[in-house]
Copies of this chain bind each other. A is one copy, B any other.
Amino acid sequence: MKLYNYFRSSASFRVRIALELKGLPYEYLPVHLVKGEHKSEAYAAVSPSGLVPTLETDEGELLSQSMAMIEYLDETHPQPPLLPADALGRARVRALAQLIACEIHPMNNLRVLKYLVRELQVSEEAKNAWYRHWVRSGLELFEKELQRLPGGRYCYGDTPTLADCCLVPQVFNGKRFDVDFGGLPRTMAAFDACMQHPAFQKAQPSSCPDNEA
Protein backbone atom coordinates (compact mmCIF):
# COMPACT_ATOMS: atom_id res chain seq x y z
CA MET A 1 0.00 0.00 0.00
CA LYS A 2 0.92 3.64 -0.43
CA LEU A 3 -0.08 6.55 1.76
CA TYR A 4 0.01 10.04 0.27
CA ASN A 5 0.23 12.15 3.36
CA TYR A 6 1.81 14.93 5.39
CA PHE A 7 3.58 14.51 8.69
CA ARG A 8 1.57 17.19 10.47
CA SER A 9 -1.86 16.40 9.00
CA SER A 10 -4.17 14.95 11.65
CA ALA A 11 -6.12 12.85 9.18
CA SER A 12 -2.84 11.41 7.83
CA PHE A 13 -1.68 10.66 11.37
CA ARG A 14 -4.90 8.72 12.06
CA VAL A 15 -4.30 6.41 9.12
CA ARG A 16 -0.61 5.95 9.93
CA ILE A 17 -1.63 4.80 13.43
CA ALA A 18 -4.08 2.26 11.99
CA LEU A 19 -1.46 0.92 9.55
CA GLU A 20 1.06 0.55 12.38
CA LEU A 21 -1.49 -1.09 14.71
CA LYS A 22 -2.24 -3.61 11.96
CA GLY A 23 1.46 -4.10 11.27
CA LEU A 24 0.95 -3.28 7.59
CA PRO A 25 3.96 -2.00 5.68
CA TYR A 26 3.32 0.97 3.37
CA GLU A 27 5.15 3.40 1.14
CA TYR A 28 5.21 6.91 2.61
CA LEU A 29 4.60 9.51 -0.10
CA PRO A 30 4.86 13.04 1.29
CA VAL A 31 2.49 15.78 0.08
CA HIS A 32 3.58 19.12 1.49
CA LEU A 33 0.40 20.94 2.46
CA VAL A 34 1.99 24.24 3.42
CA LYS A 35 3.82 24.37 0.07
CA GLY A 36 0.49 23.62 -1.65
CA GLU A 37 1.55 20.29 -3.17
CA HIS A 38 -1.98 18.96 -2.64
CA LYS A 39 -3.13 21.44 -5.27
CA SER A 40 -0.60 20.25 -7.87
CA GLU A 41 -1.59 18.57 -11.13
CA ALA A 42 0.32 15.47 -10.11
CA TYR A 43 -1.71 15.11 -6.93
CA ALA A 44 -4.99 15.86 -8.72
CA ALA A 45 -4.48 12.56 -10.56
CA VAL A 46 -4.34 10.84 -7.17
CA SER A 47 -7.04 12.85 -5.40
CA PRO A 48 -9.47 14.89 -7.51
CA SER A 49 -10.62 16.71 -4.38
CA GLY A 50 -7.02 17.51 -3.40
CA LEU A 51 -7.50 16.28 0.15
CA VAL A 52 -4.78 14.54 2.17
CA PRO A 53 -4.32 11.68 2.91
CA THR A 54 -5.00 9.26 0.05
CA LEU A 55 -4.52 5.55 0.58
CA GLU A 56 -3.59 3.52 -2.48
CA THR A 57 -4.40 -0.14 -2.05
CA ASP A 58 -2.27 -2.98 -3.44
CA GLU A 59 -4.87 -3.24 -6.22
CA GLY A 60 -4.30 0.43 -7.13
CA GLU A 61 -7.60 1.71 -5.72
CA LEU A 62 -7.38 5.25 -4.38
CA LEU A 63 -9.28 5.80 -1.13
CA SER A 64 -10.14 9.11 0.51
CA GLN A 65 -11.31 10.17 3.98
CA SER A 66 -9.29 8.87 6.90
CA MET A 67 -12.09 7.20 8.90
CA ALA A 68 -13.32 5.40 5.77
CA MET A 69 -9.75 4.20 5.14
CA ILE A 70 -9.41 2.88 8.67
CA GLU A 71 -12.71 0.99 8.44
CA TYR A 72 -11.50 -0.43 5.09
CA LEU A 73 -8.23 -1.55 6.67
CA ASP A 74 -10.16 -3.09 9.55
CA GLU A 75 -12.42 -5.02 7.17
CA THR A 76 -9.64 -6.24 4.90
CA HIS A 77 -7.07 -6.90 7.65
CA PRO A 78 -9.18 -7.80 10.69
CA GLN A 79 -6.36 -8.41 13.19
CA PRO A 80 -6.03 -6.72 15.58
CA PRO A 81 -9.56 -5.30 15.37
CA LEU A 82 -9.97 -1.52 15.62
CA LEU A 83 -13.71 -1.76 16.29
CA PRO A 84 -15.52 -3.85 18.94
CA ALA A 85 -17.26 -7.08 17.94
CA ASP A 86 -20.78 -5.91 18.92
CA ALA A 87 -22.94 -3.34 17.13
CA LEU A 88 -23.41 -1.20 20.24
CA GLY A 89 -19.67 -1.12 20.90
CA ARG A 90 -19.00 -0.17 17.31
CA ALA A 91 -21.56 2.65 17.59
CA ARG A 92 -19.79 3.93 20.72
CA VAL A 93 -16.35 3.87 19.12
CA ARG A 94 -17.53 5.44 15.86
CA ALA A 95 -19.33 8.17 17.81
CA LEU A 96 -16.15 9.02 19.73
CA ALA A 97 -14.15 9.12 16.49
CA GLN A 98 -16.77 11.28 14.80
CA LEU A 99 -16.97 13.65 17.74
CA ILE A 100 -13.37 14.50 16.94
CA ALA A 101 -13.53 14.22 13.15
CA CYS A 102 -16.81 16.10 12.71
CA GLU A 103 -16.98 18.49 15.67
CA ILE A 104 -13.39 19.48 16.46
CA HIS A 105 -10.89 18.85 13.73
CA PRO A 106 -12.71 20.54 10.81
CA MET A 107 -12.31 23.91 12.52
CA ASN A 108 -8.52 23.39 12.73
CA ASN A 109 -8.08 22.65 9.06
CA LEU A 110 -5.49 24.73 7.25
CA ARG A 111 -7.96 25.98 4.65
CA VAL A 112 -10.36 27.12 7.38
CA LEU A 113 -7.61 28.99 9.21
CA LYS A 114 -6.58 30.59 5.90
CA TYR A 115 -10.16 31.71 5.28
CA LEU A 116 -10.28 33.33 8.72
CA VAL A 117 -7.11 35.29 8.02
CA ARG A 118 -7.58 36.15 4.35
CA GLU A 119 -11.32 36.59 3.97
CA LEU A 120 -12.36 37.62 7.46
CA GLN A 121 -9.16 39.53 8.33
CA VAL A 122 -8.99 37.81 11.68
CA SER A 123 -5.86 38.61 13.73
CA GLU A 124 -3.26 35.96 14.52
CA GLU A 125 -4.33 36.12 18.16
CA ALA A 126 -8.03 35.66 17.36
CA LYS A 127 -7.20 32.82 14.98
CA ASN A 128 -5.27 31.03 17.71
CA ALA A 129 -8.11 31.64 20.17
CA TRP A 130 -10.53 30.12 17.61
CA TYR A 131 -8.29 27.07 17.34
CA ARG A 132 -8.00 26.60 21.07
CA HIS A 133 -11.71 27.21 21.61
CA TRP A 134 -12.81 24.35 19.34
CA VAL A 135 -10.19 21.90 20.60
CA ARG A 136 -10.84 22.65 24.24
CA SER A 137 -14.65 22.76 24.06
CA GLY A 138 -14.70 19.71 21.82
CA LEU A 139 -12.48 17.68 24.14
CA GLU A 140 -14.74 18.67 27.05
CA LEU A 141 -17.61 17.03 25.16
CA PHE A 142 -15.36 14.06 24.43
CA GLU A 143 -14.56 13.72 28.13
CA LYS A 144 -18.28 13.78 29.01
CA GLU A 145 -18.93 11.00 26.51
CA LEU A 146 -16.01 8.94 27.90
CA GLN A 147 -17.28 9.45 31.46
CA ARG A 148 -20.47 7.58 30.71
CA LEU A 149 -18.65 4.60 29.20
CA PRO A 150 -17.04 1.75 31.15
CA GLY A 151 -13.42 2.46 32.06
CA GLY A 152 -10.48 0.95 30.23
CA ARG A 153 -6.90 1.56 29.28
CA TYR A 154 -7.83 3.25 26.01
CA CYS A 155 -10.86 5.29 24.90
CA TYR A 156 -12.99 2.17 24.70
CA GLY A 157 -11.78 -0.94 26.44
CA ASP A 158 -8.26 -2.24 26.82
CA THR A 159 -7.13 -2.26 23.19
CA PRO A 160 -6.73 0.70 20.81
CA THR A 161 -9.65 1.47 18.51
CA LEU A 162 -10.64 3.90 15.79
CA ALA A 163 -11.43 6.36 18.59
CA ASP A 164 -7.79 6.37 19.75
CA CYS A 165 -6.63 6.78 16.13
CA CYS A 166 -8.61 10.05 16.09
CA LEU A 167 -7.94 11.26 19.62
CA VAL A 168 -4.14 11.19 19.53
CA PRO A 169 -3.65 13.45 16.47
CA GLN A 170 -6.19 15.90 17.89
CA VAL A 171 -4.25 16.17 21.16
CA PHE A 172 -1.01 16.64 19.19
CA ASN A 173 -2.66 19.49 17.29
CA GLY A 174 -3.91 21.03 20.49
CA LYS A 175 -0.44 20.90 22.04
CA ARG A 176 0.98 22.87 19.11
CA PHE A 177 -1.52 25.63 19.93
CA ASP A 178 -1.07 25.50 23.72
CA VAL A 179 -4.51 24.15 24.49
CA ASP A 180 -5.20 23.60 28.19
CA PHE A 181 -5.72 19.87 28.76
CA GLY A 182 -6.57 20.15 32.46
CA GLY A 183 -9.73 18.51 33.81
CA LEU A 184 -9.89 15.86 31.08
CA PRO A 185 -8.79 12.80 33.09
CA ARG A 186 -10.23 9.98 30.98
CA THR A 187 -9.23 11.65 27.72
CA MET A 188 -5.65 12.29 28.74
CA ALA A 189 -5.26 8.86 30.37
CA ALA A 190 -6.23 7.30 27.03
CA PHE A 191 -3.82 9.62 25.22
CA ASP A 192 -0.98 8.70 27.60
CA ALA A 193 -1.69 4.99 27.21
CA CYS A 194 -1.58 5.37 23.43
CA MET A 195 1.72 7.19 23.51
CA GLN A 196 3.28 4.25 25.35
CA HIS A 197 2.24 1.98 22.48
CA PRO A 198 4.90 1.49 19.78
CA ALA A 199 2.38 1.88 16.91
CA PHE A 200 1.48 5.39 18.03
CA GLN A 201 5.14 6.27 18.50
CA LYS A 202 6.04 5.08 14.99
CA ALA A 203 3.15 7.01 13.45
CA GLN A 204 3.75 10.34 15.18
CA PRO A 205 4.90 13.40 13.19
CA SER A 206 8.42 13.37 14.64
CA SER A 207 8.91 9.84 13.29
CA CYS A 208 7.87 10.79 9.73
CA PRO A 209 10.39 11.12 6.88
CA ASP A 210 9.04 14.58 5.93
CA ASN A 211 9.14 15.87 9.52
CA GLU A 212 10.65 19.33 9.67
CA ALA A 213 10.83 19.80 13.41
Given the contacts A49-B144, A106-B103, A145-B48, A72 and B98 also touching, CB distance less than 8 Å:
no
Interface residues on A, range: 35 or more
Chain B residues contacting A95 (CB-CB under 8 Å) are: 63-65, 68
Task: Identify which of A85-93, A152-160, A174-182, A183-191 touches chain B.
Answer: A85-93
Q: Is the CB of B94 within 8 A of A87?
A: no
User: What sequence of 0s and 1s flags, for each residue 97-115 of chain A, a beta carbon within 8 Å of any chain B beta carbon?
Assistant: 0110111011100001001
Q: Does A35 contact B (CB under 8 A)?
A: no
> A101–B97 Cα gap in the complex (Å)?
12
Query: Other than the known A67-B98, A120-B120, A120-B130, what 19 A-B pairs have Cβ atoms closer than 8 Å?
Result: A48-B144, A48-B145, A48-B148, A49-B145, A51-B99, A51-B141, A64-B95, A65-B95, A65-B99, A68-B90, A68-B98, A69-B91, A72-B90, A106-B106, A115-B130, A115-B133, A119-B126, A119-B129, A119-B133
Binding site for B on A (CB under 8 A): 48-51, 57, 61, 63-65, 67-69, 71-72, 75-76, 87-88, 90-92, 94-95, 98-99, 101-103, 105-107, 112, 115-116, 119-120, 122, 126, 129-130, 133, 141-142, 144-145, 147-148
